[in-house]
Structure 1
């Protein structure tokens, strides 16, 4: 571009273009249909004396009654197939199935599906229900034991103590196999989202036994996802200090294991780790006791279309006449950074806060999220907090901005002399370059210094964009006026005069049914361009003329919180550039640039 002062616009356009290209390459995924024949989450395995995988048991083995795991007409119908123990806390509501002892019915009472607050968020659902999603714990035989002697998916557990699971009242389930083994599950819950499950086995057989505990989280069918590059959804796990993520679409491509009867990936964890499924705002995670070795398993069974994460613990020896027990934890709830950090600190769950997808620039993203939440606590409005955080970041980066805009101002002041050099040099590119470099050296100007500081800022502002996209604190958070959910697109539309006309335009694609804030985004970007004259090259001038309005439509479908951030950033950048260039003695003819951009060129006679 001829005018070096366009560095700012190029850098800004580049950052927007990166976002746009990724948005086009990774559009939201289509919803996954309901399963026709969901099955139990247990997987078949039977190698005597070898610990393999949890069993499949839906046929009434061990003398229990057969259980129907076929698709129910509704979630309520699936829940009615089993006797249940209620879960009632300040933040959770649901039940535990006595058939199989599953935690398979859970609602998050602090969060609602829509702004109307008519229905709380459903996290877990029982086998047989559409989109079944649940957790279960059990035992794997070793040393000669058979699966017939152990509890399975259809085992009818009895309630031994407690009648409702609350923060202060745990419940204990009991099952006697009739052959000298008595199994118990004691389940407790804290005042947030952490379950503790203590499994015990009482051996009255007269023989020494060996067996291994396990935990499973299973999902029937691939769940609906955002499908956007910036967010990971699928398996997330930690193993001895490392974080591993696997998208839902990649799980079926894992290596097939004949022993497991499924695509599977197994990692041996020496001391610390956890594994589970993460969505944009919700998560379920199995957590062994820190310091405990275990196998971390990701699994996909094609015939049942089941996604599964397991923790498989070491074999326990249970001598005759003794009792052995083991405790693991289950997180099932919202991805609140403060809550997850609290668990990491108090329970020594290594890197648990990294279950939130902080992205590549986590060293920027984490402190930005902290600052955003703290500002919101002070001002009581997340939209205002977004604007204030943007202002604070721009203030911190002011030295870089000053250097950048000062360099651009100097380049602009040299523009007349540069035009003279171009006229003298003509088509002699070597002479042009030599005289330009001599001019830069004489005036002590570095042409690249205007762009480099801006490039340094791009990761910082991309990190803020990441925070606004993944933070649950943005969800259903109001701003002012018509913006009642900063995580949703601007609900107004140009096609019904922003609600003034009695026309329902909700059927229109969001990308063209743009609202007030996307329009403000386009205007603010256009104004920012007008701080500099249009490029002399007509092709470049046309591209820059259309760019604000193209982005206005393309980004109109983004969360309103993100659009508000971009508008605030554009306006603050505009003010910084204007006053810094004026301070450098540059005549910023804003009105003249606007007039020249809309003035039509007269046709040649």
Structure 2
């Protein structure tokens, strides 16, 4: 067999080994399962208690945590076009938030996604604001985790009507907290304090995001970052939940913590697969950024602590910060970045191949805006990628055709040189140079396809735009594996197939993996089977191995692979015919079932 085909086999085999090892050692996660939670009313009735997070230290002193009672205080309702929930007047916590546009599953009547939940419920997750006392003030002089705020009765927080919480410490300090929210997921929290006493007061505003324990639906999949995400003066940081217990103990924080001083622009919060909460100080505002793990109570925290303010008698101080709590939608987050949140788009986990994943997603997003169907958009994206790579593909297939023309001369060289392999190699190199043929040209499209494949896998797995995105028929979630199966005759039988993502579903594959295997097999038939028995066996098994291996992948990725194989076959067939080489595709297909018969091009 010629060197060009050997290189092609080697590149293909190496690609197969890399993908196989990657996804066998790190298999895709199981499908998301909705977690059950305890209603707030039941918690209040039971009178359960849970620990509140420790408050960060300001520059003038540290504040220790206190035991937080169950959220029995009155609540202010949150109701906008996209979110619903409530704010507890105990601590003024934003601790009950659901996303109206997203359902837990694609099943009819499924619950909407709940993002934040109060203390006392499983995996409590909330935002808490307050003031750290400075010199001359004690914990009782400032609002904390258990402070009972007041608010006008019957008020509802909407995108048009903010709410204001108030608390008077009884010693000359009056605190107000104005909370507003936009049409999407961005809250603005304006904290103010008025010193009506006779002495100077020093205190520092802070914001906290706290999670009690790791998320119940944590994926722990290496291609996805889950945990702390933050930006500090242009530097992005990502810390997995599993790495936070390894922080060194910071004596200023009283827990394991990583502390950064941000000079101008930054933010910090928690990111999950599709959802994120982030504390965002005003642009140009210096602050202390803290990622903390309290191992005593198994609480994960991110904090922003602003500089200490000193108020003389009669003075008022005010500071505004923002809280993002919602879905990681590309368009929404990009709009926030353009409005002044520096580097906010990097909160989406684009990965190492960000220089590919970002433009690939942008192109897919724009195509979907025109088509309105993510499955057809993936096929359209494939067409564009193949068009961009066409010049290289053209050179590759022309080189393959020329190599076929040189086949008789190469065979003559081998017969003449006998067992002298060095002489054969030298003769072939001279022949390649004389005929201006690059034997490695055929490998380049395959090698380029590997990072594109990984980048598209990242886009499909990470971005929320692919979550529950429909194609047609049974394919109503392109971020999940093919839901059809041979077991129920691809949906025609009255019984259900195996659960997507399970071992049974991988063995009893659906229609998309089957089409993938067939498309790869037909693409192979553009060339006759290799004469070497080992190479012929590798080629013969490869489509079917890929068929089962990719069967558990997101169906959107399998759609891309099928479209890519179909377009590649068409391109190669037409280019080879234009060069005078007529592939006997049908004959090569028949030879797969007949031993000893090896039809070739005419």
Which residue of the partner structure matches residue 192 of structure 2?
A: 200
Q: 1:230 aligns with which of 223, 238, 250?
A: 223
Aligned counterpart, 2:600: none
| Aligned residues between the structures | 581
When residues 585 and 226 of structure 1 are mapped into structure 2, their CA distance, relative to the original with a 3 A threshold, is farther
Q: Is the counterpart of residue 55 in structure 1 residue 64 in structure 2?
A: yes
Change (3 A) 1:341 1:511: same
Structure 2 unaligned blocks of 5 or more: 39-47, 598-602
| Cα separation, 2, equivalents of 1:45 and 1:468 | 38
- Deviation by residue 1:115-143 (Cα, 9 ceiling, x = unmatched): 12421111111111011111111111222
Q: TM-score, normalised by structure 2?
A: 0.91
Find out whether 1:383 has 2:380 as its counterpart.
no
Equivalence for 1:68: 69
> Partner of 1:73 in structure 2?
none
Residue pair 2:86, 2:95 contacting (<8 A) in 1 also? yes
Aligned to 1:93: 84
Label 1:227 to 1:599 Cα distance change in 2 as closer, same or farther (>3 A): farther
Cα distance in 1 for partners of 2:297, 2:539 equals 53
2:26/2:221 contact within 8 Å kept = yes
Q: Which string of whole-angstrom CA distances, capped at 9 and with x for unpartnered residues, describes residues 314-372 of structure 1?
A: 111111111111100000111111111111112x1111111111222323322222221
Structure 1: runs of 5 or more not aligned: 59-66, 70-78
Which residue pairs with 2:96 in the alignment?
A: 105
Please tell me whether the aligned partners of residues 3 and 412 of structure 1 are also in contact (alpha carbons under 8 angstroms): no
Instruction: Say yes or no: does 1:20 pair with 2:55.
Output: no
Report deviation, 1:266: 0.8
2:471 is aligned to 479
State the alpha-carbon separation in 1 of the partners of residues 112 and 75 from structure 2: 20
1:366-385 Cα deviation digits (max 9, x unpaired): 22222212221212211111
| Equivalent in the alignment of 1:415 | 407
> Is residue 272 of structure 2 the alignment partner of residue 279 of structure 1?
yes
Distance 1:551 1:369 in 2: 25
1:250 is aligned, of 243, 264, 267, to 243
| TM-score, normalising length: structure 1 | 0.90
> How far apart are the structure 2 equivalents of 1:540 and 1:117?
53
Using the TM superposition, give the Cα deviation of residue 484 of structure 1 relative to its aligned residue in structure 2, in angstroms. 1.2
The residue that corresponds to 2:554 in the other structure is 559
Q: Deviations over 1:416-455 (max 9, x none)?
A: 2212222222221221111111111121112122223542
1:212 aligns with 2:212: no
Kept in 2: contact 1:4–1:412 (CA 8 A) = no
- 1:103–1:135 contact (8 Å) kept in structure 2: yes
Equivalent residue number for residue 281 of structure 2: 288
Distance in 2 between residues matched to 1:490 and 1:354, nearest whole Å:
30
Query: Please, which of 112, 116, 120 is the counterpart of residue 112 of structure 2?
Result: 120
Residue pair 1:22, 1:229 contacting (<8 A) in 2 also: no
CA-to-partner distance for each residue in 1:382-428, whole Å, 9 max, x for gaps? Answer: 11111011101111211011011111222222222212222222221
Matched, 1:588 2:583: yes
Q: 157, 163, 173: which is aligned to 1:165?
A: 157
Larger mean Cα displacement after TM superposition, 95-104 or 526-535: 526-535
CA distance in 1: counterparts of 2:556 and 2:412, whole angstroms: 48
Q: Deviations over 1:510-548 (max 9, x none)?
A: 322321011111111122222222233322322222222
Query: What's 1:540 paired with?
Result: 535
| Structure 1 pair 182–39 and aligned structure 2 pair: CA distance change class (3 A) | same
Instruction: Pick from 557, 560, 564 the counterpart of residue 569 of structure 1.
Output: 564
1:439-588 equivalence runs, <5 A: 439-507=431-499, 509=503, 510-588=505-583
SS of residue in 1 equivalent to 2:131: strand
Aligned equivalents of 1:38, 1:22: Cα separation in 2: 44
TM-superposed deviation, 1:46: 7.7
Aligned position for 2:592: 597
- Output one character per residue of 1:136-177: Cα deviation in whole Å (capped at 9) or x when no partner: 111112223222211121111111487100001100111111
SS in 1 for 2:229: strand
Give how far 1:221 is off: 1.2
Q: Indicate conservation of the 8 Å contact 2:57/2:253, yes or no.
A: no
Task: Tell me what 1:64 maps to.
Answer: none
- 1:515 and 1:488 map into 2 onto residues whose CA distance is 12
Contact 1:400 1:454 in 2 (8 A): no
Structure 1 contact 181–202 (Cα < 8 Å) conserved:
yes
Matches of 1:350 and 1:12, distance apart in 2: 42
Three-state SS of the structure 2 residue aligned to 1:158 is coil
- Equivalent in the alignment of 2:45: none
2:2–2:407: 8 Å Cα contact kept in structure 1? no
CA spacing shift, 1:525–1:9, aligned 2, 3 Å: farther
> Relative to structure 1, is the Cα distance of residues 449 and 29 closer, same or farther in structure 2, using a 3 angstrom cutoff?
closer
- The RMSD of aligned alpha carbons is 2.5
Which residue of structure 2 aligns with residue 63 of structure 1?
A: none
CA distance in 2, matches of 1:120, 1:206: 51
Deviation at 1:26, TM superposition (A): 2.3
Q: Is the 8 A contact 1:212 1:316 kept in 2?
A: yes
CA contact (8 A) 1:6 1:532 kept: no
Report the Cα distance in structure 2 between the residues aligned to 1:12 and 1:290, rounded to whole angstroms: 50
Return closer, same or farther for 1:536/1:3 CA change in 2, 3 Å cut-off: farther
Q: Following the alignment from structure 1 to structure 2, what is the Cα–Cα distance between the partners of residues 46 and 246? A: 22
Match of residue 263, structure 1, among 256, 277, 299: 256
Residues 52 and 66, structure 2, Cα contact 8 Å, conserved in 1: no
Instruction: Find the residue that maps to 1:156 and give its secondary structure.
Output: coil
CA 1:9/1:413 → structure 2, altered by over 3 Å: closer, same or farther?
Answer: same
Distance change >3 Å, CA 377–CA 51, structure 1 → 2: same
Q: Is the 8 A contact 2:484 2:497 kept in 1?
A: no
1:490/1:516 contact within 8 Å kept: yes
Contact 1:271–1:290 under 8 Å retained in 2: yes
